[in-house]
Structure formats: C-alpha cells, structure tokens
C-alpha cells in the first residue's frame, strides 16, 4: 500500500508546472531506504544479490572467473582497430573513450535527443563511413563492455538541462505506466513488490539498475545492454516490445540512470 501511495505522489510531480529531477531522485532513494532499511543504497549496485545472502555468495564465486572476461578482452581489441579512413573510436569520444560511461546517457542539445553509449558507438561509425553494428550483436556488446570496464569505480553524473526535461519526463512516465496483458509497469515489480519473488526470481531495486551494464546473462548466453532487458521485460508482461535505441527506450534509460546518480559503476557484470 505504501508503495502505491508513493508512486501516486511521485507521478504527481510530473503534473507540476516545473519538473524537478533532483527532487524525484531524492524521493526515489528515500523510498528504497524506507522499504529496504537493512540495505545501504550503495549495495544496490549488485542488484538482487544485495537482497539474498545465499545467491550473493554463489554470484561472487562466479565473479572469480567472470563469463564476461573474454568480452572485455575482445572489446579492447575491437576498440583499438582503425577504421578504413585511419581514424578510430578514440577520435569520437572524450578522453579517448576511457572512463566515460558515467556520463551516459546524455542529452545532445544540437540533436535534441538522448544519446546512449551504444548509440554513440554507432554514431561514431556513421561519422567514419563504417557500417552500423547490431545493437544486440556480439561486437556491440564487447565494445560497450570494454568501455564500461574502464569506467568501473566512477560514479554516475547525469545532467538534465532545461532542454532535456521533456525527454526525462517521457522516460519517467514510461517507468510508471502500466502496459501489456499483465497490466504491469516497471515500478510494479521494482517498487511495489521489490525484494519479493516472481517466477523464482528476486525482484531487485531500480535504484541500482543502471550500474552494471552491459551484463552477461546466462539466459542470453552472451553479453547485452540494458535496453535488451527493457525489451525482455515488455515481452514478459505481454506488452509491445520496441526497437533497441528507440526514443522511448532511450528516454527510459535516461530517467533510470538519473535516478542512479552518484552510484558507482561496476559493469560489466553477470546475472542469471
């Protein structure tokens, strides 16, 4: 009941004349502090493994020899390969692409849209006359895994300038709106019944959802990005799944990552 009241109150912010993303973030964090009082906010970067000691121990054993290790190594090699014109990914990104994931996604004022890391990788390829990568393909996963690995330990610092408020609000609405045959919202699982079980899976808190991507999921048998998880969630509730890097998914990622501002990145990671 408390979760439902919080969500109604939280959604009410969107109807106010002036949106306040930081007030949203503070309220979001406060909700999880009160709902899961025995768990530090920082611990949620480990997702459901912050909520179950036995499963956490099993996960830590897996992390001794992580299944994403090869992806990181291959991503480093791919990142270093020069394009046909002699340039490379390092020419497209600040700091040569190293240690920058904490600033993604961001709102591009010139383009008037949210730019995720994966979209930026393909934009780089476009700018250098290279074919785009499949957003759910192995090469994209490996490159983004390597870039995430170089950003471990950094903390999210996502900005929402005035021009980006509409995109932020659209992402926020997507998170709270119910959809599909099950009439579920993202918040239905990750706020209303957070810490509970659904199909034998512990439902994690959204306060840490953006920290550990891309992730090697054993169900996928490969590494993938957060938007692939969005797609899977939509399918599970019987809702229409959207294209990877669609405007709606990018705005959702923008909102969700802003809610994780100040949290430490620990991707890539492994998940069941």
Among the candidates 149, 182, 215, a domain finishes at 149
Q: Does residue 61 share a domain with residue 76?
A: no
In a domain, 61, yes or no: yes
Structure confidence by residue, pLDDT tens digits, 240-249: 999 999 999 9
Structure confidence by residue, pLDDT tens digits, 188-244: 999 999 999 988 889 999 999 999 999 999 999 999 999 999 999 999 999 999 999
3-state helix, strand, coil in the chain (%, to 5): 55, 10, 40
Q: Does residue 191 share a domain with residue 101?
A: no
Q: Does residue 230 share a domain with residue 198?
A: yes
In Å, the largest CA–CA distance within the chain is 59
- Neighbouring residues of 116: CB distance < 8 A, sequence distance ≥ 6: 104, 105, 227, 245, 250, 253
Residue 141: count other Cβ atoms within 10 Å of its Cβ.
Answer: 28
Question: In the structure encoding, which two tokens stand for residue 199, read together?
Answer: 């199909």
Q: Does residue 123 share a domain with residue 190?
A: no
Residues in the chain: 272
Is residue 250 within 8 A of residue 107, CB to CB? The reply is: no
Q: Does residue 124 share a domain with residue 141?
A: yes
CATH code at position 110: 1.10.760.10
Task: Calculate Rg over the CA atoms of the chain.
Answer: 18
Among the candidates 149, 175, 191, a domain finishes at 149
**Terminal-to-terminal C-alpha distance of the chain:** 30
Is residue 266 within 8 A of residue 211, CB to CB? The reply is: yes
Confidence of residue 116 (pLDDT cuts 50, 70, 90): very high
Structure confidence by residue, pLDDT tens digits, 157-171: 999 999 999 999 999
Q: Does residue 133 share a domain with residue 101?
A: yes
* pLDDT of 16 above 70: no
In a domain, 112, yes or no: yes
Q: Give the model's pLDDT for residue 18.
A: 72
Range of the domain at 102: 69-149
186 classed as catalytic? no
Q: Does residue 209 share a domain with residue 82?
A: no
Into how many domains does the chain fold?
2
In a domain, 158, yes or no: no
Q: Give the DSSP letter string of 29-65.
A: HHHHHHHSTTS-GGGGGGGGGGT-HHHHHHHHHHHHS
Question: In the structure encoding, which two tokens stand for residue 106, read together?
Answer: 């961001």
The predicted model scores a pTM of 0.93
Catalytic residue among 92, 124, 186, 233: 233
In a domain, 28, yes or no: yes
């Amino acid at each position: 009941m408390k979760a439902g009241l919080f969500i109604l109150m939280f959604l009410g912010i969107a109807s106010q004349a002036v949106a306040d993303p930081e007030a949203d973030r503070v309220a979001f964090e406060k909700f999880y502090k009160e709902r899961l009082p025995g768990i530090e906010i920082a611990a949620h970067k480990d997702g459901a493994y912050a909520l179950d000691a036995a499963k956490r121990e099993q996960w830590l054993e897996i992390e001794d020899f992580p299944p994403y290790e090869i992806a990181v190594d291959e991503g480093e090699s791919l990142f270093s390969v020069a394009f046909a014109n002699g340039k490379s990914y390092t020419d497209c990104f600040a700091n040569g692409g190293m240690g920058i994931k904490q600033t993604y996604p961001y709102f591009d004022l010139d383009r008037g849209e949210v730019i995720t890391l994966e979209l930026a990788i393909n934009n780089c390829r476009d700018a250098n006359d290279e074919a785009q990568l499949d957003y759910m393909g192995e090469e994209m996963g490996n490159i983004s895994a390597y870039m995430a690995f170089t950003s471990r330990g950094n903390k999210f610092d996502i900005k929402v300038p005035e021009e980006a408020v509409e995109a932020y609000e659209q992402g926020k609405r997507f998170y709270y709106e119910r959809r599909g045959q099950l009439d579920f919202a993202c918040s239905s699982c990750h706020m209303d019944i957070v810490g509970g079980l659904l199909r034998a899976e512990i439902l994690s808190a959204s306060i840490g959802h953006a920290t550990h991507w891309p992730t090697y999921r054993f169900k996928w048998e490969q590494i993938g990005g957060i938007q692939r998880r969005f797609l899977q969630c939509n399918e599970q509730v019987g809702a229409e799944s959207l294209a990877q890097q669609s405007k709606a998914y990018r705005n959702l990622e923008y909102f969700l990552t802003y809610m994780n501002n100040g949290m430490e990145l620990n991707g890539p990671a492994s998940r069941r």
